[in-house]
Amino acid sequence: MPTALARKYMNSDVLTQPAQQVEAYLAQVLDQRPLPPNLREAARYAVLGPGKRLRPILTLHSASAVGTTQQQGAKEALAAAAAIEMIHCFSLVHDDLPAMDDDNLRRGRPTLHIHSGEAMAILAGDLLMGLAFELIATALEPKELAGRVSAELAIATNDMIAGQVYDTIPDFDDAIEPLERLETIHRHKTGALFQGACRMGAICGGGDEAEIEAITRYAQTVGLMFQIVDDLLDVTQTTEHLGKAAGKDAEQGKETYPGLLGIEPSRQEVKRLQAEAHESLARFDSRADPLRELCDLMAVRRK
Ligand code: GRG
């Protein structure tokens, strides 16, 4: 059962309003782009299922945290938000494939390769990666901004792919301690998209270097916090509740924060990172309140 605090945040405008805005935009992009009907259907299935939309929400709130007005960079931030969600969805589709995590449940529904077949799942994932960059290149003005944002998106995507390799085909030096290995995996696999999401938002919103740096620290901290919470949920919640396979980390013998530190110390680490994320936003006024609320939500989420 979600706590009262988690329930309050799940219904918060901080989440629902930007999530709806991004979902409507994503549907429009996927409907307007000429595509074979079966590929469009697969891409829509992958993207428009019931996801939390945390990364695009971070993009939009990072843009407003630095923006001088509500409108500055709003169109650009929305396109960047949709692009990061497409990259995230591509990664989920490919991660679920038989050659990777071999999962048949995602967002409470059959994974894309179960729904549309393996070949289509590979191709729809590829498409989403291409579409994300196409969107940045075509929707952002001026073109200098498009170049800057697409570089951020490329770095985030490639670091995430490196994180998947660190996690699933590891090639670490034996001298590296388990906790450092785990942090390296998560800072790449999960943290990279959080960082890219926030930096793209701050750049679209017209943030200066110091603001972008502060938002980057916030993103790195909440990215790690999100993953520790994810590790905790994997051992404390059911598959039915999560809408994806629970208990997989232990089943696959994966190192996790609860596995290395224990459950209670992991919860303490979540609290420490939550406080650190708030500190990183100290220079911002109330326009960063949605980022502060989002951090608190991610700390108490039950899904
Ligand atoms: C295949 C290139 C490639 C990368 C895969 C995303 C990923 C990297 C693996 C999925 C497994 C996993 C545990 C990733 C860590 C990040 C994470 C918890 C993803 C799920 O994100 P949520 O909870 O998902 O935000 P929704 O469905 O709400 O969007």
Classify burial at 11, counting beta carbons within 10 Å of its beta carbon; exposed 0-12, middle 13-18, buried 19 or more.
exposed
**Band (7; pLDDT cuts 50, 70, 90):** low
In angstroms, the CA 221 to CA 52 distance is: 19
Nearest to 297 by CA among 54, 89, 107: 54
On average, the pLDDT of the chain sits at 93
pLDDT digits (tens, 9 = 90+) for 27-77: 999 999 999 999 999 999 999 999 999 999 999 999 999 985 656 689 999
Give the rounded percent of residues in the chain with a pLDDT score beyond 70.
95
For ligand 1, whether the C-beta of 91 sits within 6 Å is yes
b/e burial code for range 155-171 (CB count within 10 A of at least 16 → b): ebbebbbebbebbeeee
In angstroms, the CA 39 to CA 35 distance is: 6
Tokens of 148: 């800057």
In angstroms, the CA 182 to CA 222 distance is: 16
Complete DSSP assignment for 16-31:
HHHHHHHHHHHHHHHH
For ligand 1, whether the C-beta of 21 sits within 6 Å is no
Measured in Å, residue 190 CA sits from the centre of ligand 1 at 7
Q: What is the pTM of this model?
A: 0.93
Measured in Å, residue 140 CA sits from the centre of ligand 1 at 26
The CA–CA distances, whole Å, from 274 to 208, 215, 218, 237, 292 equal: 24, 14, 9, 21, 9
pLDDT, position 183: 94
Nearest-CA residue for atom 17 of ligand 1: 190
pLDDT digits (tens, 9 = 90+) for 141-176: 999 999 999 999 999 999 999 999 999 999 999 999
Tokens of 189: 């696999």
